[in-house]
Structure 1
């Protein structure tokens, strides 16, 4: 509830957050920013069920809803439902509420000139879908709302937080000989990622058939449209192919990590895991996953919910000494920004140059010494310190400085 310092609300905004865990996080933070900018009341976002992620989780299953509402109280009103007197006008059906189809990366001026008048008229509006519907280049006041939502108000629900912190402590205990420091690696080699990349690996005819089936299940005809040409070789040279577990292992060994390094691997079910994971485990026998660290009983409440499992991975990666990203996407981007915010801008992150890696891996004449020299150079030129200032077109979720790290907002100030 509002503390009374906010002016009278202009109405209620209901958004539908689509995608996986961190695409939904984008929607939530942007929704807080839009609601704050328009002096509106935000209704707890609804999570859209997707055929790829297949996760029916609600907001409160992933995040601490009460904490979210209370933390934002001095800045943005948040409620769990639209009031009954308004819902009565729409036969108690939110699909009857006026829905804005906002273009991607819309500027704040669009919300001021197009959305606000309708909000004032209707008193409740929907915006669906909502991911990436607000420009990264926004006024500082809007950025402050994003910062507050992402870095302060969004805290995982107690079951997820407890399980995640338990695994963090286990990783620190296992790596006690290295002062509790461990490396986290985000590996994207799940079947859907391999299929969507349209790259060819070393699985032969079986892989080819698996990928055709996976593309049809997930994207129904998108890749078989007339005129659609798939060029796996070009994708690889352009750095679009996910790194295989073998390639990740070779890269890390080349960068100086050895068999004694404790690694936490954040990943979904790896494609053809028995075959593809063997070389990585041989190179790094101290590699751990959440499934290896926790019992089946411990993971049972989360196992059939991809976003909850991803949230556990996120927590363990957040507190690692070094974070290694092997593929783009919302998960590593949010982690890089969150780690920068959490550790004062100096979190160690390794972002490999995948175009260069493709050339090196495909060169049969390249010896180990030359490869290692290239990897050490790549590591030194990577985002090893993590401190960079945001440019106007950059994501504030990746680059929180200066908007999120150099000024206090009202809520934070009032809490201290």
Structure 2
């Protein structure tokens, strides 16, 4: 019976690994006569082993991404003594001092001879002196969205200023309606003086538009996707020369992902070195990270379990039939164009294709399969999940040391940052970056920024869930599921990997080879 059950599971996996949406069901299984049961089982066990081996090989070759506040309070591991260590990144971990069965999970990826490299060409450096001294032309940019989107837009604002040879006025942070954020100045989130000093050889940064230019604001038209430096210059430079000032909005993901090498490296310089958080955010995040580290290495999770994410992806949260029905109704009422990717696919088809976010049960099962010890400290950040504390129960059951920013902080410690979701997101970002292992339940601007930053900082372990393999292997028993997950993720834990699919991936998410090179001297990230 067990063999027959396993054969059905593996057959289902093989049928659904590359999903066919024809709606046809598989043929019924044949049951052998009793008098030949033992020989059949022996032969079938060999056949089963071959099928499993073939399946493991196929999922091991699945390409990675670069290639193609909750009401629940968990037990805090806070240390009440003052924290003196405020390093942003986790110290080197000696896995030999860990229990034998935990070493493989905490082992960091081999970065080889890859190091961050931000050396600029002679041509770029020759042009820098005039651009860095620019006093006639000024670019103003309004950035919006949550922290990940803000960082992306600020990076591209600096690059556009460089392309135009203009000075950049500190970007304006628009109130974040999604996060119900109060409006914030650039200096409320980022270290202004560090930003200016780091980029002083690349672009002149000023705090405000000079009074002589206040009456000459020119608003630019819509920027198309994949805008090139040539398009930017031809479209905006005449206006900039005429008016002396240019105001841009809505630049998220508009600038081409594939720029000349110097501009790609400028992107990395802004993202990983210039955009340092304000001192109060850095200090708060570092204190929380030190508390997490007090009892050993820890895991950081960015969970996307909020209602809007389930609706946007067209997926069901899997909490209960009631919760799933609520989301399904909201999906039907939502305009079709508001649902991302493959509009004609059902929830089941989306899940098999790896398009759905992982829920808390999926995250817990994957971490367990990859060898994460139940005793590990686990820090999670993200919006309040749909379903409240119930949505997180599978994760809390498996990892009792699951905690949040709110549970980890001392009374009143977060008060100065409240009502500013970008500031709280920045604290999460700091704790994520300092973790020994990071994983996101769904792709997005925060997940991509963290993946790239951890790669630039020395290829720190970042698990990239192979959601197609997880969905296909879901029916298997835990032991076989674990074997498949370890093989499916052996090349998805933060190793150096070249940025491919160059029209789709941002260099700040996949910095190899433009910003992380083989055999070069290191350029430290903050």
TM-score by length of 1: 0.85
SS at match of 1:259: coil
Match of 1:69 in 2: 196
Shift of 1:389: 2.8
- Is 1:131 the counterpart of 2:252 in the alignment? yes
SS at match of 1:131: coil
SS at match of 1:100: coil
Aligned counterparts, 1:154-233, within 5 A: 154-175=275-296, 181-200=297-316, 201-209=318-326, 231-233=346-348
- Is 1:312 the counterpart of 2:421 in the alignment? no
What CA RMSD, in Å, does the superposition of the two structures yield over aligned residues? Answer: 2.6
What count of residue pairs does the alignment treat as equivalent?
386
- Is 1:388 the counterpart of 2:515 in the alignment? no
CA distance in structure 2 between the partners assigned to 1:373 and 1:396 by the alignment: 32
CA distance in structure 2 between the partners assigned to 1:116 and 1:42 by the alignment: 14
Shift of 1:209: 3.4
Match of 1:301 in 2: 416
Match of 1:178 in 2: none
Does the 8 Å contact 1:18/1:130 carry over to 2? no
Match of 2:146 in 1: 20
Tell me whether 395-404 or 243-252 shows the greater mean CA deviation.
Answer: 395-404
CA distance in structure 2 between the partners assigned to 1:270 and 1:295 by the alignment: 23
Does the 8 Å contact 1:195/1:215 carry over to 2? no
Match of 2:60 in 1: none
Aligned counterparts, 1:11-410, within 5 A: 11-55=137-181, 56-87=183-214, 89-90=215-216, 97-175=218-296, 181-200=297-316, 201-209=318-326, 231-343=346-458, 346-361=459-474, 363=475, 366-382=476-492, 384-391=493-500, 392-393=502-503, 394-406=505-517
For residues 146-202 of structure 1, the C-alpha deviation after alignment (integer angstroms, 9 at most, x for no partner) is 122111110101111111000111011022xxxxx2221221112222232221223
Match of 2:107 in 1: none
**Runs (5+) with no aligned partner, structure 1:** 176-180
Instruction: Quickly say closer, same or farther: Cα 1:6–1:62, change in 2 above 3 A.
Output: closer
For residues 52-97 of structure 1, the C-alpha deviation after alignment (integer angstroms, 9 at most, x for no partner) is 222223321111122212221222111121111211x25xxx5xx3
Shift of 1:352: 1.3
Instruction: Quickly say closer, same or farther: Cα 1:210–1:303, change in 2 above 3 A.
Output: farther
**Runs (5+) with no aligned partner, structure 2:** 1-127
Does the 8 Å contact 1:199/1:232 carry over to 2? yes
Shift of 1:142: 1.4
Does the 8 Å contact 1:195/1:212 carry over to 2? no
Ranked by relative contact order (alpha carbons within 8 Å, sequence separation 6 or more), the top structure is 2
Highest Rg: 1 or 2? 2
Does the 8 Å contact 1:10/1:39 carry over to 2? no
SS at match of 1:104: coil
CA distance in structure 1 between the partners assigned to 2:286 and 2:278 by the alignment: 12
